[in-house]
Amino acid sequence: MRETTEYFTEDMDIRQIAASGQCFRMQERKEGLFSLIAGERYLEIQCLEKGKFIFFCSNQEFQEFWYNYFDFGQDYGALKKKVDPKDVYLKNAVEFGWGIRILRQDLWEMMITFILSQQNNIPRIQRCVRLLCENYGRKKVNFRGEEYFSFPSPNKLAEADLEGLKACNLGYRARYIQETALAVAEETVSLEALKKMTYEDARKELMKLCGIGKKVADCICLFALHHVEAFPIDTHIAQILAAHYPDGFPFLQYPGFAGILQQYMFYYDLHGKAE
DNA sequence: GACCAGGGCCGGC
DNA sequence: GCCGGCCCTGGT
C-alpha cells in the first residue's frame, strides 16, 4: 500500500499554482490530480475537495521536504487580509488567485528556469525545461513505474556544448545557460553563499551572471530564496502599474511581502481577463 | 500568412 | 544611460 499524507489548508489551489508562472514542471494528470517534479523528486497531489489534499508521499518526506516547499509555515489567509480594502484592483486580484502560494523552489533550478523565461512564453518555457531535463538530467522512476528526469546539475550543464543546449530549443539563451553553468561549476558564484545573503546582496550577486538582469534576479530571489519583498517587474506588471498605480505601488503598506502580492497580480493579469 | 508580443538581457555606443 | 537585436512560439 502506497504511503500518503493528508493535509488541510483553505489557502491553496494547485491548479492556480501550476498556472501561475512560478514553476514549470507541475501539471494536471487528470481532474484534480497533479504531478510535480522538483529537483530530484517526484510528487503527486490529489485535491479531494476545497482545502483537502492527499500528498502521495510518506509523512516523513512531507514533514522534511514538502511542508517547507509549499510554504505551509506561512499563514496566507492572514496575509490576504492585510490588503487595503480600498484598493479594488488588488482586492480583486487576490480574490481571483486566492489559492496561490509562493513555493520554496531549488535555487539552481530557478536560476536556469528564469534565465530561460526571458522574452518567452509559458508553454515554450515548459518545453525548454523539459528538454533540458530529458537531455541532461538523470533518468528516474516514479512510484507508478514511469520514468521522469531530474533537473540537471551545474556540472552537467557546464559540460554541455552550445549545440546540445540549442537542441533544447533555448535559442539565444543557450549561451547564457552555458556561461552561468560554468560560473557556478567553477564557483565564481557560490550557491551556498547566495542562500545566506540578504535580498539586496543576493540580487546584486545574481546579476553578475550572464543572462540575469533585474527582473530575472528578482524572480530567483522570490521563488527560490524566498525573499518575498522582491517584486519582479515584467511586461505584465509594468502595464498593471501604469494602469492602476500611476503614483507607484504602495510598498510601504506591505512591508517585506510585496512580492507575494505581485504574484496574485501577475496571475490575475494572465488568467483573469474579464476585461 | 503576416504580425505582434512573450515573466528581458547583452553589447556597443 | 540608451538603444538595436535577438531565437522561437502562441495568439490574433
Q: Is residue A178's beta carbon less than 7 angstroms from any atom in nucleic acid strand B?
A: no
- Calculate the average pLDDT of chain A: 97
Per-residue pLDDT tens for A87-110? 999 999 999 999 999 999 999 999
B6 C1' to A159 CA distance, Å? 29
Beta strands (DSSP E) in A16-159 are 26-30, 33-38, 41-49, 52-55, 139-141, 147-149
Report which of residues 66-125 in chain A place their beta carbon less than 7 angstroms from any atom of strand B.
117-122, 124-125
pTM of the model: 0.97
C2 C1' to A58 CA distance, Å? 55
Q: Which residues of A are catalytic?
A: 215
CA nearest neighbour of A15 among A43, A41, A45: A45
| pLDDT at position A2 | 80
Q: Identify whether the C-beta of residue A116 lies closer than 8 Å to the C-beta of residue A129.
A: yes
Q: Is residue A180's beta carbon less than 7 angstroms from any atom in nucleic acid strand B?
A: no
- pLDDT class for A275, splitting at 50, 70, 90? very low
Per-residue pLDDT tens for A163-211? 999 999 999 999 999 999 999 999 999 999 999 999 999 999 999 999 9
